[in-house]
Structure 1
Amino acid sequence: MTHLIVGYPSVEVNRQMLEIMAEVGIDLIELQMPFSEPVADGPTFVRANQAAIAAGLRLDDYFELMERSVSAYPFPHLMMGYYNTAFLMGHGEFCRRLREVGASGFILPDLPIEEYGDLFALSADSDLSPIQLMTPTNSSQRLEAIGERVSGFAYAVARRGVTGGRTEFDSGTFEFVARCRSATDLPLALGFGLRCGDDLRQLRGRVEVGIVGSALLEAWERGGAEGYRHLLLDLAGGRY
C-alpha cells in the first residue's frame, strides 16, 4: 500500500504520482488529508502537511482528487487523516462524502475505538472500512478488543514512534506481528519505516500488505518522477 499527502508538493504532482503508481501496479493507496498537527507523522510528513495547508488546499480539493483517482485507477483508495476532519464535517457527512467519491475506507490514527461512537455504524451503512491500528505497546487484551472492531484489514505499526525512520526487523517485530495475527482473522498490513523492496521481501508469508509512505515522498523530492518510479519498481519486485 502506498501513500501520498494531497496537496504536496501540489495536486498536479499528486496526479503524476498516481499515474506512476498505476503504471507500476500498486495494490491500494491511502490519500492523506493534510492536518496542522499530524501526531502520528514524522518530520517528512509533518513538513508536507504544513506545506499543503500553507498552499491553501481545501477539503473540496481533497475529495476532487480522490474522486478522479478512483474513477481512473482500479486500486482501492483509503482516506487517511485525523479525527478533526470527521468531527468538523460531522460523522454522517464524513462517511457520505467518502462514499460519494468512491473511497473504500478510512484511517484515523488519533481516534481510539472507544471514541468512535456512531462512526462504526455510519461507516458500515456507507460500505466503508474503518481501519484500526495495532501498536507494539498494545496489550494482548487491547489487540483482541481492536480485532473485534477491525474491518477491511488491520494496520500493524512496526515500531514505537512516528512515521519515517527506517525499521530494522528483528524477532521482536515478528513476535508483534504474530500477536496481531492472533487477534484477527482479517488480512494484516505492516507500516512505519518500510523503505525498499528488501523490506517487503522480509515480510513475505508474515503479512499480506506492506505500507510505504515517507520513503516514496523522499524519493520524489530527491529524484522527481524517475526517482519515484525507480523506488516503486523496487517495491513491486519485493512483493512476490
Structure 2
Amino acid sequence: MKNGTPLSSGNTANTRSELARRIADGTASGKPIQLMTHQILGFPDFDANYEMIRLFHENGVELVELQLPFSEPIADGPVFLRANQAALAYGTTTARCMAFAERVVADFPEISFIFMTYYNIVIQYGIRDFVAKCAAIGIRGLIVPDAYPEESGEFLDACREFGVEPILIVTPYTSNARLAYLSGQTGGFLYCAARKGVTGSKTSFGEESDEFLNRARTAAKTPIAVGFGIQSAEDVAFLKGKCDIAIIGTQLLIILERDGLAGVEQFLKSLASTVSRT
C-alpha cells in the first residue's frame, strides 16, 4: 500500500505474485493492518505448532512465518535461540519441517505461509532443490537473513524460477541507497526490522520509527511489514497506517510458555480487536 493504493510485487517479471495478491486483497478488504505470526517448528513440538496455527487461523491471522531451526540463529534473541536449540534436540529436521508445512498449507489455505531459516540449511539441502520443494508444498515466501543478495544469486534465481518470494530485511540503520537497492530485490513485502539487533527485545516506537518507516515506504515497491519487538495490541495500533503488516514472534512464544494456549488465544483476540478498529 502506498498513499492508500495496494502495491504490486517487485519481482522481475513485473507480475503480481500470489503472496502480493493476497496481501493486496487484505488491504482492499478494508483492514487497516494485517498480522503475521511466527512459529519455530518442533518447539515445543509439532503438535503444539499445529494448535498455535489453528488459533492463528481462528483469529484472522493472514500470514505465518515457519522457522526451520538452526544451531546458530544470528538474527534471534535469547528466547528464540533457546527454542531453536530445543527443537533440534527434539529431533527436528528439515524433512520433518517440510512435511509439517505441507500439512498446514493444505489444512489452512487462507493463510500465506512463509519459511524463515538460515542460508546454511538452504545450501545443505541444495539451493534449487530447496526452493523447488517450497514451491511444491505451497510456501509463498522465504526469509533468509544471511542470504545477502549480492552473494546469493543462485538463491534469487531459483526464487524467480519457482515463484517463491525472497523477502529481504532492512533496519533503521540501512542507508537510503541500500534501502532502494534492497527494495528492488525483495518480493512479496519488505521486512522492516524496527531496530538494529536481534529479535525479542522491546522496541520503543516513536518519532525515529516514523522516520524509518517513511523512508521505507518511499523506497518500497512492495507492501512493508514491521517486526522485532512488537509485544502488544498497543504496538500494533501504533503501526496502523504506517505499514501493511505487523509481525509478532517472540511475544507469542513467551505467552505460550507462561500461560499456555489459553493465554495465546486471549492475546490473539486482543490483536484481532485492534486490527478490526479503523
TM-score normalised by the shorter chain: which range applies? over 0.9
Amino acid at match of 1:57: T
Rounded to whole Å, the distance in 2 between the matches of 1:115 and 1:239 is 38
Q: CA deviation at 1:112?
A: 1.2
Name the counterpart of 1:126.
162
Q: CA deviation at 1:155?
A: 0.2
Q: CA deviation at 1:196?
A: 1.2
Amino acid at match of 1:66: A
Equivalent residue for 2:260, pick from 208, 218, 224: 224
State yes or no: 1:92 paired with 2:128. yes
Name the counterpart of 1:30.
65
Q: CA deviation at 1:104?
A: 0.2
CA contact (8 A) 2:105 2:137 kept: yes
Rounded to whole Å, the distance in 2 between the matches of 1:90 and 1:15 is 27
- Give a deviation string over 1:45-85, Cα, whole Å, max 9, x none: 00000000011111111011110110011110000010111
Rounded to whole Å, the distance in 1 between the matches of 2:148 and 2:172 is 15
Q: Secondary structure at the match of 2:91?
A: coil
State yes or no: 1:18 paired with 2:49. no
Q: Secondary structure at the match of 2:167?
A: strand
Name the counterpart of 1:237.
273
Name the counterpart of 2:193.
157
CA contact (8 A) 2:37 2:63 kept: yes
Name the counterpart of 2:83.
48
Q: Secondary structure at the match of 1:40?
A: coil
Larger RCO, structures 1/2 (Cα 8 Å, 6+ apart): 2
Amino acid at match of 2:155: L
State yes or no: 1:70 paired with 2:124. no
Name the counterpart of 2:230.
194
State yes or no: 1:39 paired with 2:70. no
CA contact (8 A) 1:199 1:238 kept: no
Name the counterpart of 1:59.
94
Q: CA deviation at 1:119?
A: 1.5
Rounded to whole Å, the distance in 2 between the matches of 1:109 and 1:182 is 22
Amino acid at match of 1:76: S
The alignment's TM-score, normalised by the length of structure 1, stands at 0.98
- Give a deviation string over 1:81-135, Cα, whole Å, max 9, x none: 1011111111110111101111001000112111111221211111100000011
Number of equivalent positions: 240
Amino acid at match of 1:61: R
Q: CA deviation at 1:34?
A: 0.2
- Give a deviation string over 1:217-236, Cα, whole Å, max 9, x none: 11100111100101111111
Rounded to whole Å, the distance in 1 between the matches of 2:216 and 2:158 is 26
The alignment's TM-score, normalised by the length of structure 2, stands at 0.85
- Give a deviation string over 1:147-167, Cα, whole Å, max 9, x none: 111110000010111100111
For residues 175-194 of structure 1, the aligned pairs below 5 Å read 175-194=211-230
Q: CA deviation at 1:182?
A: 1.3
Name the counterpart of 1:6.
41
Q: Please, which runs of 5 or more residues in structure 1 have no aligned partner? A: none
Rounded to whole Å, the distance in 2 between the matches of 1:143 and 1:238 is 30
Moved over 4 A (4+): none
CA contact (8 A) 1:41 1:162 kept: yes
Rounded to whole Å, the distance in 1 between the matches of 2:83 and 2:182 is 30
- CA-atom RMSD, angstroms? 0.8
Q: Give identity over the alignment, percent.
A: 38
Q: Secondary structure at the match of 2:226?
A: strand
Q: Secondary structure at the match of 1:98?
A: helix
Q: CA deviation at 1:238?
A: 2.1
Q: CA deviation at 1:181?
A: 0.9
Q: CA deviation at 1:185?
A: 2.5
Q: Please, which runs of 5 or more residues in structure 2 have no aligned partner? A: 1-35
Deviates further, 27-36 or 229-238? 229-238
